[in-house]
Amino acid sequence: MASKEQTLSNLILSGYLKSKPVILAMRKLSRELFLPASQRPFAWEDRPLPIGFGQTISAPHMYAFMLEAAQIKPGMRILEIGAGSGYGAALLSLLAGKKGEVISLEIVPELAAFAQDNLKKAGCKAQVVCCDGYEGYPQKAPFDRILVTAACEHMPPALPSQLKLGGKMLIPVGKFFQELLLVEKTQQGIFQKPILPVLFVPLTGKIKG
């Protein structure tokens, strides 16, 4: 079974991990804290792992890729859709720092409670809200960054409007074949480009057609 340092070294060598803040965040955080006991021995294997209720925690390389692409800065307000076990929210909170704000939405009540408990144990400041993330979280919009960790067949129409001007969103879109899209909100409008073929579990809740 892989160790943290082995996996992080491999991610650096392969180019998934590049920036000092992301490397430090992934090195600091114990991925084991965010897994059911049966999965903890496999925490640093570079593959998705089950966390219950038909959901998974993404592979370390996927977190590395998304965090590098998101370019999180201290003080940002960030929305994550799909808290899962809370690992992504924890990484985001480390990158956003004490002056930042991270809100993570989770539709499965048991996972929302699991995620919030894990974040508390890890000493990370992030709020988990149990709700359907398809409509985003207008109560706290606009956001500097939105990260969606479950696949949608089409872009949820509410999400781009919840970005700040200059804000970015990462979202996997597609049914059988998915692309991770980088969405940017500029003075000229909303622009999107595919940056990586991916395979995420589907977003659940409201019909995603």
Residue at 4 is within a domain: no
**Rg over CA atoms, the chain:** 16
Domain with residue 147: its CATH number is 3.40.50.150
Residue at 139 is within a domain: yes
Locate 41 and state its tokens: 């021995």
Which pTM value belongs to this model? 0.94
From the candidates 3, 58, 93, 104, which is the catalytic residue?
58
188: burial class by Cβ within 10 Å (0-12, 13-18, 19+)? exposed
pLDDT at 63 exceeding the cut of 90: yes
How many domains are contained in the chain? 1
Mean pLDDT on 182-189: 96
Mean pLDDT on 142-167: 94
Say how far apart CA 103 and CA 112 lie, in whole Å.
12
Residue at 208 is within a domain: no
**Residue 84: how many CB atoms within 10 A of its CB?**
28
Residue at 83 is within a domain: yes
- Domain containing 91 equals 62-198
Q: Read off the pLDDT of residues 8-23 as tens digits, 9 standing for 90 and up.
A: 999 999 999 999 999 9
* Per-residue buried b or exposed e for 137-151, using 16+ beta carbons within 10 Å of the residue's own CB: beeebebbbbbbbbb
The chain-wide mean pLDDT, for the chain, equals: 94
Give the side-chain half-sphere CA count within 13 A for 17.
Answer: 21
Q: What is the percentage of the chain residues whose pLDDT exceeds 70?
A: 98
Active site residue 161: no
Mean pLDDT on 106-125: 97
pLDDT at 86 exceeding the cut of 60: yes
Residue at 42 is within a domain: no
pLDDT of residue 206: 58
pLDDT of residue 176: 76
Mean pLDDT on 132-147: 96
Q: How many residues does the chain have?
A: 209
